[in-house]
Amino acid sequence: MTDVTAERLALAELTQKLGVDIDPELLSLALTHRSWAYENGQVPHNERLEFLGDSVLGLAVTMRLYTGHPELEEGALAKRRASVVSTVALAEIARGIGLGQYLLLGRGEDLTGGRDKDSILADTMEAIFGATHLSAGSDAATALVLRLVEPLLADPERYGAAMDPKTALQELAAHGGMLPPSYAVTSTGPDHDRQFTATVTVGDLVAEGAGTSKKHAEMAAALTAWRELSGRA
């Protein structure tokens, strides 16, 4: 299989996951990180699409919150919007569709765990929203945004957890009369491709999370634990 054929198959697979027809060239551009562009002759990368997609995302979420929650004041609406469009929330959405495997990254960025970095995943999601807007129109882009963020919109308690899962878990434990969560972290792999696994214990619950840094692993474990504890309530 040639590289071109493999790329086409990957783009088709991602398009199917997204559930919207996006021009392959635009989708490929949306997946192109600046590190890859710099290593391949200063070709275009996704930052302009990211700029556009940020506005697409913001407007879609703003309209959804405004029309769906007439009871909320401006401050509450702004807080919810900020949480849903946050880097942590977008990265969580990106991981849900396995976006990292499709990224075009420079070798250095790839070797240092770029495929699982919150900032890169979130920026790429915004670029995809921008590409969808240009390729399929504003209605299709809005529909895509809302379909992907709906789990967060439908669960207000999860907003704070998605942004700061360790604090959310600590507060939930305190509310339940439990000791503060305790974390243990292990790592595997060479220095340039270190993978971390965190185990958090809170009450009788033990949960795990993985990431490319100790911080990300602990956050992932905390979010998993928070979801399970919340489900018990």
Tell me the HSE value of 71 on the side-chain side, using a 13 A CA sphere.
Answer: 0
Catalytic entry in 54, 92, 116, 164: 54
Residue 126 annotated as binding site: yes
171 catalytic per annotation: no
Tell me how long the chain is: 233
Gyration radius (Cα) of the chain, Å: 19
Judge contact between 89 and 119, C-beta under 8 A.
Answer: no
Residue 50 annotated as binding site: yes
54 catalytic per annotation: yes
Distance CA 11, CA 26 (A): 10
Catalytic entry in 118, 126, 164, 218: 126
- Exposed / middle / buried, residue 215 (Cβ in 10 Å: 0-12, 13-18, 19+): middle
- List the binding residues: 50, 123, 126
List residues with catalytic annotation: 54, 126
Residues annotated within a binding site for Mg(2+): 50, 123, 126
